[in-house]
């Protein structure tokens, strides 16, 4: 199955070798003046404005796939273990970018969002060791009276 990016490239190339030449031919030899308004922007837009429009849409779809993959983790402890196994932040960001074929800035954004979600879940459900560490020490101090 082709990825979204590969499909977008195929559509762009097919349009570039079929629709654009046909539109140019029709514009030059058969189109009345009223159709110039549609044909000229189509030709210029297909060549120059396809990727600025499709690129952000593809990035959103890929980022959505990253979030969906991260949601498949079953427990917070499993996620915490995977994030804190000794791998650095840059390694995880590179892995996310490579695995889901997204730019590094989107992978960094996804990584930071996951860390925020983990931090929020830690505040809601502290582990038993954290509960013991946060409990005040019960040391009796003689006040001298």
Same domain, 120 and 61: yes
Q: Rg of the chain over CA atoms, in angstroms?
A: 27
Domain region containing 44: 1-48
Grade residue 145 by pLDDT with cuts at 50, 70 and 90: very low
Total domain count for the chain?
Answer: 2
For 46-93, the pLDDT digits (tens) are: 999 999 999 888 878 877 776 776 676 777 776 666 666 544 576 678
Burial degree of 66 (CB within 10 A; 0-12, 13-18, 19+)? buried
Same domain, 67 and 115: yes
Asked whether residue 131 is domain-assigned, the answer is no
Same domain, 85 and 40: no
For 4-43, the pLDDT digits (tens) are: 888 999 999 999 999 999 999 999 999 999 999 999 999 9
Asked whether residue 2 is domain-assigned, the answer is yes
Same domain, 36 and 68: no
- Residue 113's pLDDT is what? 86
């Amino acid at each position: 199955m082709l990825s979204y990016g590969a499909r977008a490239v195929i559509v762009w190339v097919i349009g570039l070798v079929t629709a654009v030449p046909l539109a140019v031919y029709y514009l030059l030899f058969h189109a009345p003046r009223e159709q110039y308004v549609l044909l000229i922007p189509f030709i210029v837009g297909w060549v120059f404005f396809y990727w600025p429009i499709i690129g952000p849409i593809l990035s959103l779809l890929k980022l959505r796939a990253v979030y969906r993959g991260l949601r498949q983790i079953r427990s917070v402890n499993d996620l915490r273990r995977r994030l804190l196994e000794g791998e650095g932040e840059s390694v995880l960001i590179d892995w996310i970018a490579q695995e889901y074929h997204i730019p590094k800035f989107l992978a960094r954004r996804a990584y930071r969002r996951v860390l925020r979600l983990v931090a929020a879940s830690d505040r809601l459900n502290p582990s038993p060791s954290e509960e013991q560490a946060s409990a005040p020490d019960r040391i009796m101090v003689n006040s001298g009276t």
